[in-house]
Each structure stands twice: as structure tokens, then as C-alpha cells.
Amino acid sequence: MRRTPRLAAAVLLVPAALALAAGCGREGSPPAKGPRPGDLPSYHVDSGFSLPASPTWTAAHRRGSLVVGVKDDQPYLGERDPATGTYSGFDIEIARMAAASLGFPVDRITFKAIASANRETSLANGQIDLYVGTYTINALRKRQVGFAGPYYLAGQGLLVRSDEHGIGGPRDLAGKKVCSAAGSSSIQRIEADYPDARPVTYDTYSVCVDNLLTYQVDAVTTDDSILLGYAAKAPEEMKVAGRPFSKEPYGIGLSKGDTALRYALDDAVVAHERNGDWKRAYAATLGLSGVPAPTPPPVDRYRGSGA
Ligand code: GLU
């Protein structure tokens, strides 16, 4: 049976990945630990803030908490510690900065893990007030939701096993199984531009990574920011191959019609970039995956619906 050796390999590889994730990184490799709470900035809460023109803000204010959709399995970006239930990562910090500017302190934020495929519906049906989770701003999505920002610029890349030498870019994916999250711009690009690749989709990237480590797929594709985090946690097993082949500007997703909130969030992003919060937050989170802080992209502040 062909599956037996593969499963055996999985049993060997996964504990190795976990050991590295626990902090046993090689010398010279980026630290494999998560953000240290002591390094995280705290943000000035604008307690007098009021935005009656925003239906979302008004409802959240009455409720007494801001509900933010996030990812919970993306190292250094949006990760939930299963032992404590605490969320950490750069997107989580962006959410905290935005909340502080809207008058909500950290204990008034409720994080909800929402998969890539469910972001637009969760925002449209009011299940969440905001979404902060590697969410690329694009024209198609702007038909359904609003975007503040961008607050970060990523690019699509490929994650492969360390012993893989045949995949150096998306053109090498012909005939190969490539895994990504359903509803992501990553899988859409593969399907549109690389029709000879064999796409495989799951709800989350961490399932794709498990599939890579157990030889069920040949590569994982999504933003370099996400892939570098997985690679940094298990550098013996996986590597990011080649160069980024797209531009993925990350926005804060919100209800499409709520322009007052969108502009308030644009202002918040600019303010936290200017006062150094953005840079400090980056250094304490995404910076741990080994990439020095880039200059954040200019905030778009588009007029009308943007469609
Ligand atoms: N940034 C891409 C997207 O929004 C990929 C990452 C993700 O699925 O969150 O689709």
C-alpha cells in the first residue's frame, strides 16, 4: 500500500515541526517563538470617540464591544493560543489599534475566527463589525465589502518541503498538487493563470501545511507573509520557494455602505503609522518571521463604493 510510508513519514515529521514551534530553532534561523506579550505596544484608547454616522460603530458602542473577524492559525499574523485562548500577531495588533481609535480598549474586543471563504458574508450579515486577517483589497471584493487601508503589502508565494528542488516559481506547478484556502485570491490566481497546476483547497492554510508535510500535496500557495511564518516555525521541514508573484495589499474589511467608519479607520491606520505603533507592532510580531519592517503602503481612502 502506497499510503503507509507516507503516513509513517507524517508521524515523524509532525512532532519535529512541533518541537521547532516550541522554540528549538536552528542557530541563524529566525526565532521560532510567538510574540512576547511584554514586547507588544499598548495603544491610546480614544475614549471620547463618537461616530453616530456609522451604523456599525453605533451598534458596537451600544453592545459595548467590537467584534473583529480574524485568522487563528497564521503564525505572527493571527494566531490563537489553544491553551489560553489569547490571540496574537500583526493583524491582531492592527485590530487593536483600530479598536483603540474607535474607543474600544482591548478587553472590549471580541475576536472571531473566520475562514477566507466566509469573510464577505460575515461582514454583509453583521456577524462581525470588522475583519482583519490577511485580507487582500481587490475590485471583486469591493463589490461586496468596504476596505480601509491598505496597512501592509504582501505578495503571493510558494511553500515547499525543504528537499524540493523542482519548484522555484508558479510555472513549475504544472502537474503538481498545490494547496490553498478556498475563497482566497491565491487559489483564484492559480486557477486563472496556471491552468496546468492541480489545485487543492481547504478552509485554512494550516491544513494545507499538514498536507504538505504528509506528502499529500507538492506546494502550498498564499501570501509570503503567511508562508514565512509557517517556514520559520519548521525551517528543517519547509522553505519558501522563489519570489513573490503578485501584490496583495491588506485592508480592514467592513460593511460596504459604512463610509463614515471606513474613513475613520483610514485615519486610524495613518495615525498609528505616524506615531510609531505600526512599526513597534510589526517588530514584535511579523518581524519575528525574519523580514525587516517595510514602509507601509499609502492609505487609499477611495471615494464612493470603489467598485
Ligand atoms: N491575501 C489573500 C486573500 O485575501 C490570501 C490570504 C487569505 O486567504 O487570507 O485571499
Q: Give the integer Cα–Cα distance in Å for 242 and 219.
A: 12
Residue 266 lies in a domain: yes
Decide if 223 contacts 187 (C-beta within 8 A): no
Beta 130-131 vs 248-255: how paired, if at all?
A: antiparallel
Which of 205, 224, 241 is the endpoint of a domain?
241
Residue 121 lies in a domain: yes
Q: Could you identify the atom of ligand 1 that is nearest to the CA of residue 136? A: 4
Mean pLDDT value of segment 272-299: 95
Residue 194 contacts by C-beta under 8 Å, 6 or more apart in sequence? 170, 171, 173, 174
Q: Give the integer Cα–Cα distance in Å for 222 and 205.
A: 8
Check whether residue 81 and residue 227 sit in a common domain: no
Residue 96 lies in a domain: yes
Check whether residue 199 and residue 255 sit in a common domain: no
Nearest CA residue ID for atom 1, ligand 1: 136
Q: Probe ligand 1: pick from 222, 225, 228, max atoms within 8 Å of CB?
A: 222
Based on the structure, what is the number of domains in the chain? 2
Q: Write out the residue range of the structural domain in which residue 62 sits.
A: 40-153+247-289
Check whether residue 93 and residue 65 sit in a common domain: yes
Q: Probe ligand 1: pick from 186, 227, 252, max atoms within 8 Å of CB?
A: 186
Mean pLDDT value of segment 195-220: 98
Decide if 13 contacts 214 (C-beta within 8 A): yes
Residue 176 lies in a domain: yes
> Which 3 state secondary structure label does DSSP give 121?
helix
Check whether residue 78 and residue 129 sit in a common domain: yes
Q: Probe ligand 1: pick from 142, 226, 245, max atoms within 8 Å of CB?
A: 226
Q: What pLDDT digit, counting tens, does each position of 18-68 carry?
A: 333 333 333 333 444 566 667 789 999 999 999 999 999 999 999 999 999
Indicate whether residue 74 lines ligand 1 (CB < 6 A): no
Indicate whether residue 116 lines ligand 1 (CB < 6 A): yes
Q: Distance from the CA of 181 to the center of ligand 1, in angstroms?
A: 8
Check whether residue 145 and residue 194 sit in a common domain: no
Residue 4 lies in a domain: no
Check whether residue 199 and residue 83 sit in a common domain: no
Indicate whether residue 205 lines ligand 1 (CB < 6 A): no
DSSP run (H or E) holding 149: strand 145-154
Check whether residue 55 and residue 148 sit in a common domain: yes
Q: Distance from the CA of 155 to the center of ligand 1, in angstroms?
A: 10
Residue 262 lies in a domain: yes
Check whether residue 138 and residue 192 sit in a common domain: no
Check whether residue 147 and residue 45 sit in a common domain: yes
Residue 273 lies in a domain: yes
Check whether residue 182 and residue 277 sit in a common domain: no
- Residue found under cell 456599525: 56
Per-residue model confidence (pLDDT) at position 15: 36
Residue 12 lies in a domain: no
Q: What pLDDT digit, counting tens, does each position of 122-144 carry?
A: 999 999 999 999 999 999 999 99
Instruction: Give the model's confidence band at 290: pLDDT under 50 very low, under 70 low, under 90 confident, else very high.
Output: confident
Nearest CA residue ID for atom 6, ligand 1: 134
Q: Distance from the CA of 115 to the center of ligand 1, in angstroms?
A: 10
Check whether residue 166 and residue 196 sit in a common domain: yes
Choose between 74 and 6: higher pLDDT: 74
Instruction: Give the model's confidence band at 306: pLDDT under 50 very low, under 70 low, under 90 confident, else very high.
Output: low
Check whether residue 91 and residue 225 sit in a common domain: no
CATH of the domain at 118: 3.40.190.10
